Every structure is written in C-alpha cells, then in structure tokens.
C-alpha cells in the first residue's frame, strides 16, 4: 500500500540532563542541586512568575543553603534578543556559577542562551544556527512551570530577533541542561488558555516525533546534525507520552485542579521534550513559525490547529505508525485493516485537540487566503525541520495543506 521509511540501523539516540527530578513538591530539591554547581546563582524568569509566593519561596530556599542569588525577572514572551543583551550586560562581571531558568519555554531558553553568552562572550547572533557553540557554557538548570514546550530537556534556545524580524534557534548539545526539576504543582495556577496551548504543543511534539522520518544517518551526519529522526529510544518516550496525554487531556480541560491529570500532562511534556531533542519536530512546527509571526497567536494553538491537517498529509507515508498510534490510544481494533486503525488514531488526536478547544482551522487564528502563499514560502526556510517530515513537502504541497487547514477540510487522502 505505501512505502514507509524505516529505521534500518536500529538506531537509538537520546540527549538528556544528568539529573531529572520529577514529582509534586520536588522543587524542594532544587537548592541542593544548584549548590552542586557553584555558589553564585542567576535565576531568569518573567515578571508574572517573580511575583508569585512559590518563586519567593525558591529564592529563600536558595539563600538558606548559602547560595548568593541574582534574579533577572524580565524575560518577555518569545524571548527577544534584547533580554539576552540586558542580562549579559548586567551579569557578565558578577562571577555567576550556574544559571537557573524558572517559567515557561522562553524562560528556560533564556537560561540556556544566557549561560552561553556569560561563558563564551559575544552576541547571541554569533551562535544562531546549529552546532556553532565552540566551548562549554555555564551549568544550566531548568524548572518548567508549564506542561508543553519540552524546553526543560532540549538543547535549543529560540530567540526573537526583532531587527531581523525572525525567530531563530541556537541549537547545540552544549546547551543541554545539567539538571531539570519538574514539579507539576507549578502548573496548578496556569490559566486555561495557557494550559490548553501548552498541552497541544506537547501533543504535537509527541505525534511529530513518533511519525518523523527515519533517517538512517551515517556517523558523520550524526556528528553534524542534532536531529536524527524517529529512532528506537525516542519511540519509548513517544509511546508513553501519548498514552499519558490520552488519559489526562480531557481531565485537565474539565478540571484544572486535577492534580493527577496535571502530573500526567507534565510527564508527557517531558517525554515530548526527550523525543524532540534528538528526533526533531517537523512540518507542523515549520508551518506554525510564519503563522505565529503573522497572527501573533500562541505557538501551542498554532501547532494544535495545524496538526490534524499535517497528520492527514503524512498518512500515506506513515500508515503503520498511525495504526500503532490508534492501538496505543485504545481506539483501533488490531484485527481491522491498518488504514482503518491509522484513521482511528488520527481522529483520536483530533478529539484531544478539540477537548483543549484548540482552533479547528487556521481562519480561527486570523489567517486569511491572502496570507497562505507567504506562509508556505516562509515555511520552506525551516529546512532543518522539514527534513524530519516523513513525506516530502514542497512549497506547492504546503500551500495545498494550508488551504485545507484554512477551510477545515479534514478529508483523508485517497490511498490505493
């Protein structure tokens, strides 16, 4: 029926922090972890988080174990380059030993890029791209307060460069955090909109990496590139993460204070981060980037809105994987035809996105027919992500997909 690329090497590759601490209340371990890496800690966060009692408690706990604490609390959404310039100017002579990011994805990315410029100097622009960091960075510790981005474990920092009008990634295995403390209690106060957007992001990471291209890279390619596509180790995280979201998304949508569901979602987001850190995201993320810039809509809502249409586009190249997804999510009959199982899996993901009230099509995000050509053209620039997509996507393909996504056309492709 289809020619699916497979991981003929049996390759598995993970990149991960030395220490991962997960669990409700486990933020109590944070000061001791930080102290293992030095005495002078810089915490980077945003203004909202800095005002919370939980944040004040963290600072006091640091001081109680003898840490000297500096706080940069001005991280803005999307992480503008100016934030990094400000922090570098303020703390380059402060003898910082360790950088701790507390907050959503932008705060965690800020910790990575600040640890880089404090250790290696220069401007963050010097490092835009893949593997351009030549020496060690300061130890990075991440403490996520949302469940979705996977930034707590990934070795990429995404920066918005306003002068150039683009979001750019700084990707290097040297940006891998030394530790992450994932405490689901931090997410209890997240408002419904943020919870939905971040959960949709986690779902997108898991589906994209589970269905990624299997690249079968040479040893040389593995040295040059961070993303090796779908592999046997990321699949472990994908399977577990998808099952966790399958059982928790509808519960957190109905009751944001459901602690067990919050914990499951946070663990799933971590699984998504572990998977994307070596497999890499693909067409959903390539297409969302220009849409986010154009409409100023949250990343999670954009990827969530695109996911149903990209799954359908990719289906011909991934029938057996989507069929496995259907079985994993408990909606596919294993005795049925594979295509039927695959469609059941895709429709279950649609239902989870609907439970999160993610926009059902691109018009809900404010995209118009006139925008589509520019979105398709700009998405083609994300070559690093499109290289992970299991089915080749040309600009013309992208335009066709975007048209279906704009009008809510969820028909399935004809497969022979």
The tokens for 342 are 């695959």
Rank residues 88 and 249 by Cβ distance to Fe ion and give the closer one: 249
Measured from the CB atom, is 50 or 170 closer to Fe ion? Answer: 170
CB of 320 to Fe ion, least distance (A): 25
In a 3-state reduction of DSSP, which class is residue 40? strand
46 binds Fe ion, rule: CB under 5 A: no
Q: From the CB of 310, what's the least distance to Fe ion, in Å?
A: 13
- Compare residues 184 and 298 and give the one whose CB is closer to Fe ion: 298
Of 11 and 242, which has the nearer Cβ to Fe ion? 242
> In the complex with Fe ion, which residue's Cβ is closer, 42 or 301?
301
78 binds Fe ion (CB under 5 A): no
**Range in contact with Fe ion (rule: CB under 5 A) among 107-115, 118-126, 200-208, 355-363:** 200-208
Q: 22 has which bridge partners? A: 182
Q: Does residue 235 interact with Fe ion by CB under 5 A?
A: no
Whole-angstrom distance, CA of residue 139 vs CA of residue 180: 11
What are the structure tokens assigned to 60, written together?
A: 């006091």
Nearest CA among 243, 390, 237, 401 for reference residue 321 = 390
> Nearest approach, Cβ of 158 to Fe ion (angstroms)?
9
DSSP-derived pairing of the beta strands 156-161 and 166-171: antiparallel
Q: What is d(CA 299, CA 279) in angstroms, rounded to the nearest whole number?
A: 19
Question: Minimum distance from CB of 235 to Fe ion (Å)?
Answer: 19
Q: Which two tokens stand for residue 44?
A: 């980077």
Using CA atoms, how far apart are residues 386 and 377, in angstroms rounded to an integer? 13
At its nearest, how many Å lie between Fe ion and the CB of residue 205? 6
Going along 79-177, which residue ranges are E strands? Answer: 98-103, 129-130, 140-144, 156-161, 166-171
**Residues between 326 and 355 with contacts to Fe ion, criterion CB under 5 A:** none
User: Of 138 and 242, which CB lies nearer to Fe ion in the complex structure?
Assistant: 242
Least distance in angstroms from the C-beta of 33 to Fe ion: 26
What is the nearest approach in angstroms of Fe ion to the Cβ of residue 278?
Answer: 15
Please choose, out of 42-50, 51-59, 90-98, 201-209, the segment that lies near Fe ion by the rule CB under 5 A.
201-209
> Which of 156/178 has CB closer to Fe ion?
156
C-beta of 176 vs 201, nearer to Fe ion: 201
Length of the chain: 416
Q: Is 212 in the site for Fe ion (CB under 5 A)?
A: no
How far apart are the C-alpha atoms of 287 and 269, rounded to whole Å? 21
Count of positions on this chain that bind Fe ion (CB under 5 A): 1
Q: Where are the beta strands (DSSP E) in 19-135?
A: 19-22, 40-44, 68-72, 98-103, 129-130
Please identify which residue in 152, 201, 235, 361 interacts with Fe ion, judged by CB under 5 A. 201
- Joined tokens for residue 361: 């099509």
Minimal distance in Å, beta carbon 148 to Fe ion?
Answer: 7
Q: H-helix or E-strand containing 266?
A: helix 259-276
Tokens of 171: 């990707």
Instruction: Report, in Å, the least distance between residue 285 CB and Fe ion.
Output: 6
Closest CA to 245 of 318, 103, 349: 349
Provide the 8-state DSSP code for 330.
T
Distance CA 209, CA 238 (A): 7
Stretch that binds Fe ion, among 117-125, 195-203, 396-404, 408-416 (CB under 5 A): 195-203
Instruction: Give residue number: closest CB to Fe ion.
Output: 201
Query: Bridge partners of 130?
Result: 171
Residue (201 or 324) nearer to Fe ion, CB: 201
Residues that bind Fe ion (CB under 5 A): 201
């Amino acid at each position: 029926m289809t020619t699916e690329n497979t991981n003929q090497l049996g390759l598995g590759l993970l990149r991960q922090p030395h220490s991962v601490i997960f669990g409700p209340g486990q933020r109590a371990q944070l000061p001791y972890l930080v102290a293992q890496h030095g005495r002078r800690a810089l915490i980077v966060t945003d203004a909202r988080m800095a005002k919370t009692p939980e944040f004040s408690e963290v600072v006091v706990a640091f001081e109680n174990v003898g840490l000297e604490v500096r706080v940069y609390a001005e991280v803005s959404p999307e992480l503008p380059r100016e934030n990094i310039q400000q922090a570098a100017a303020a703390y380059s002579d402060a003898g910082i030993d360790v950088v701790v990011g507390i907050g959503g994805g932008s705060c965690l990315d800020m910790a990575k890029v600040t640890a880089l410029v404090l250790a290696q100097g220069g401007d963050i622009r010097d490092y835009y791209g893949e593997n351009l960091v030549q020496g060690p960075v300061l130890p990075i510790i991440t403490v996520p307060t949302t469940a979705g981005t996977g930034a707590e474990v990934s070795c990429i920092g995404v920066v918005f460069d306003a002068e150039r009008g683009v979001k750019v990634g700084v990707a290097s295995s040297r940006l891998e955090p030394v530790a992450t403390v994932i405490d689901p209690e931090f997410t209890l106060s997240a408002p419904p909109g943020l919870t939905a957007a971040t959960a949709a992001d986690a779902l997108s990471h898991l589906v994209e990496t589970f269905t990624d291209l299997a690249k079968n890279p040479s040893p040389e390619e593995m040295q040059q590139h961070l993303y090796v596509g779908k592999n046997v180790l990321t699949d472990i995280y994908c399977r577990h993460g998808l099952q966790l979201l399958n059982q928790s998304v509808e519960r957190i949508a109905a009751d944001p204070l459901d602690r067990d569901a919050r914990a499951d979602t946070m663990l799933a987001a971590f699984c998504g981060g572990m998977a994307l850190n070596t497999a890499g995201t693909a067409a959903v993320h390539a297409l969302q980037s220009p849409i986010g810039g154009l409409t100023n809509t949250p990343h999670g809502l954009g990827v969530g809105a695109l996911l149903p249409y990209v799954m359908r586009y990719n289906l011909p190249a991934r029938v057996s994987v989507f069929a496995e997804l259907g079985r994993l999510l408990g909606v596919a009959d294993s005795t049925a035809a594979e295509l039927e199982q695959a469609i059941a899996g895709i429709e279950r993901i649609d239902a989870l996105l609907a439970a999160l009230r993610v926009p059902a099509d691109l018009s809900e995000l404010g995209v118009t027919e006139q925008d589509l050509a520019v979105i398709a053209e700009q998405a083609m620039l994300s070559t690093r992500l499109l290289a992970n997509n299991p089915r080749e996507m040309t600009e013309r393909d992208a335009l066709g997909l975007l048209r279906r996504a704009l009008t809510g056309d969820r028909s399935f492709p004809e497969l022979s």
